[in-house]
Chain A
Amino acid sequence: MVELAGLSDRLTAEQLRGRRRARLRDAAVSFGMMGPAVLLYTVMTVVPVGVAVYLSLTDWDGFSTASFIGLDNYKHLFDDPSSTDAWYVTALIAGAGTVLMVGLGLVYALALKGRSRSNSFFRAVAYFPHVISALILGYLWAAILGTNGAINNTLAKFGVEPVGFLFDETFALISLIAVIVWAGFGFNVVLFVAALQTVPAELLEAAAIDGASRRQINLRVVVPMIAPVVTVATVLNLVGLIRAYDIVVSLTGGGPAGSTQTFTYLILARSFEGTKVGYATAQAVFLMVVSAALALFVTALRNRQDQAATGS
């Protein structure tokens, strides 16, 4: 690692050989340091993806021997109603969830950006569900929103008919999105507050002196300043929501009548109950491609806006 600059022209053949050996030894040590991590990651993460691609080209049912059927599973992806329904549900959750979570995140971050004890308290209040398992939050909300839940029992006292928060197809989807937003927007609040605190005070003062109102300052100065973080949050929310699973299991179990079945839920349900493992892995591979594409797309969009803004 130590460079002996300026001495190389005076090195003898013997010394050159020595240096080559040293470099080899260095490479061996590097390899030794990275090797175990690379090996485990390859075997447990990369190989399964390869296996998924292989299985997706077969009609494997989980038990018998698989036979190769080419791209049939992928062709089936778009003419299978339960698959397209799951896409619709997933897209709605990811789209509406991301918009609401980023929007609420921004509103509350602007309200809580100051450094005070009460603000840290409220930030923690917004954030805490993020450390609790989504499965458990789903069960908690199921107990609150169910026909016998706290809300319906209270409504009943005022003579209101029970609302099928989890048992009406439309309401169930709305409830699912609401619970997901409830559990997740706090992460954006904390993220945005951290970004807002890096906006230089001089800039805000200058805008105030120029006669801008608080609202104008927020919309025209502060939000554009933290735009890169908003992009990061958008990508993280989208990619996270497109994989929603745990909360679906515990809140609605995919029902009623499959109206809240997300793509990941469908994949795992198919793999176990339906025994169509080949088809399910084709869906998994497709999901992976979509989530990578989404992440790259949002980032690229952002980069282009940045370039347009700086005029380059």
Chain B
Amino acid sequence: MVVLEAQADDRPKAARGSRPRSDDTVRADREESRSPVRRVLLGVLLVVMVVPIYLLVVNAFKSQQEILDNPFSIPFGGLTFAHMSAAISSPQFNVIGGYGFTLFLVVLVDVFCILLAGPAAYAIARSLQRRTQLVLLYFLAGTFIPGAAVIIPVIYVLREIGLANTVTGLVAHDVASTLPVSIFLFVGFIRTIPVDIDHAATIDGAGRYRTFWTIIFPLMRPAVVTVLILNSIGIWNDFVSPQILLSPSSGHYTVTTAIYAGISQYSTDLTKVFPNLLLAVAPVVIFFIYMQRHIISGLTVGAVKG
């Protein structure tokens, strides 16, 4: 991760930039898009990527016997909502209930991450002192720490400060885990904003907090959107931290821990597996389709300019 030169504004420009194209390149592109090799490649891609999702969707509405006999078919007469509604109202491991808690977690972590990472990145980006640059390195070191592997010592620390097995403890851990990459991306972005703007604000009498929140922060929109998308997907999909930092006795289930609790017990009952998995996947896929462009450009930010 150290190698990533964060130039958050480079990517969208490069993607959208209208480079003048000669007729030759257009013709070459068209020729290329008709080549048989390419067609085979794309055909394979479509089948391999889409079929598992197709299976997930159709089998969520079939009986166990239908799933076993004809996994790929759509029996128009035999489709049933029974298993889906059973999954929706299941009292044992409620994926729908998991949506609420997971969303709550995502929003809370996002808000605290911006509140902490924003000003910190601003102070780092605008300081000329070497000491402050070391702070950036200190945060970057965090990207080398394999979160799942050191989660046990995290329990130890949470126990010491009295936050073991609490939502507060989980949020604190999650926010801390989002800080390194967020600060890294923010610092890169703030450095592309002219310092003259800050000076003008200072002359007009604004303090540094005010300068940051009212002048600089609104200019950081692309970087903030990127960080929010990265964090939200990361927290929504996280399994290890909620599973280990919030024991089942806490009564709180995220989508992933609810699925884990449910599917690992009933893995042979496919009428429980498919509907629950579909419920878990649906919001993310809808979010992805809706935000596709932002997600794809957001996640590649910084990595391209190596």
Chain A contacts to B: CB under 8 angstroms: 1-2, 29-30, 33-34, 36-38, 40-41, 43-49, 51-52, 55, 107-108, 111, 114, 116, 118, 122-136, 139-144, 148-150, 153-154, 182, 186-187, 190-191, 194-195, 197-198, 200-201, 204-205, 208, 214, 228-229, 231-233, 235-236, 239, 242-243, 245-246, 249-250, 263-264, 267-268, 271, 277, 280-281, 283-284, 287-288, 291-292, 295, 299, 302
Kindly identify, within residues 144 to 195 of chain B, every residue whose CB is under 8 Å from any CB belonging to chain A: 144-154, 156-157, 161, 172-173, 175-177, 179-180, 183
Structural contact, B202 and A2, CB atoms closer than 8 A? yes
Instruction: Point out the residues of chain A lying under 8 angstroms from B147, CB to CB.
Output: 243
Can you report 12 A-B residue pairs in the complex whose CB atoms are below 8 A from each other?
A: A36-B116, A38-B138, A44-B172, A44-B175, A45-B177, A111-B42, A143-B277, A148-B68, A190-B299, A242-B146, A249-B260, A284-B153
- Chain B residues with CB below 8 A from A292, complex form: 144
Q: Does B61 contact A (CB under 8 A)?
A: no
Instruction: Let me know if B153 and A51 touch, CB within 8 A.
Output: yes
When the two chains form their complex, are residues B295 and A277 in contact, meaning their CB atoms are under 8 A apart? no
What is the interface size of chain B, counting residues whose CB is below 8 A from a CB of the partner? 109
- Specify which of A43, A129, A268 is in contact with B161 (CB 8 Å cutoff): A43
- Are A116 and B49 also in contact (CB < 8 A) when A38-B135, A245-B148, A288-B150 are? no
Chain A contacts for B177, CB-based, 8 A? 44-45
Question: Contact: B21 with A201, CB < 8 Å?
Answer: yes
Assembled-state Cα–Cα distance A201/B280 (Å): 43
Residue B81 is within 8 A (CB to CB) of chain A in the complex? no
Render B118-139 as a binary contact track against A, CB cut-off 8 A, 1 for contact: 0110111011000010010011
In the complex, whether B117 has a CB less than 8 A from a CB of chain A is yes
Measured between beta carbons, the chain B residues less than 8 angstroms from A245 are 148, 240
Tell which of A108, A128, A246 touches B288, judged by Cβ atoms closer than 8 Å.
Answer: A128
B92 within 8 A of A: no
- Secondary structure call for the A interface: helix
Which residue of chain A has the shortest Cβ distance to B20 in the bound complex? A201
Kindly state whether residue B8 has any CB partner on chain A within 8 Å.
Answer: no
Interface string of B256-299 (1 = CB under 8 A from A): 10011001000110100110010011001101100010011101
B146 close to A284 (CB less than 8 A): yes
- Which residues on the B side are within 8 Å of A41 (C-beta)? 138-139, 142, 176, 179-180
Given A40-B175, A41-B139, A132-B237, check contact A143 B274 (CB 8 Å): yes
Q: Are B207 and A125 in contact (CB under 8 A)?
A: no
A197 partner, pick from B14, B69, B256, beta carbons under 8 A? B14
The answer to whether B33 has its CB under 8 Å from any CB of chain A is yes
Instruction: Enumerate chain B residues within 8 angstroms of A250, measured Cβ to Cβ.
Output: 260, 263
**Choice from A1, A46, A153, A197 contacting B202 with Cβ under 8 Å:** A1
How many whole Å from A242's CB to the nearest CB in chain B? 8
Distance in angstroms from B244 CB to nearest chain A CB is 8
Known: A116-B29, A126-B49, A232-B303. 4 other contacts (CB 8 A): A44-B173, A148-B268, A190-B296, A245-B148
Q: Which residue of B lies closest to A60 (CB)?
A: B156
A13 CB to nearest B CB, Å: 25
Q: How far is the CA of A1 from the CA of B117 in the complex (A)?
A: 21
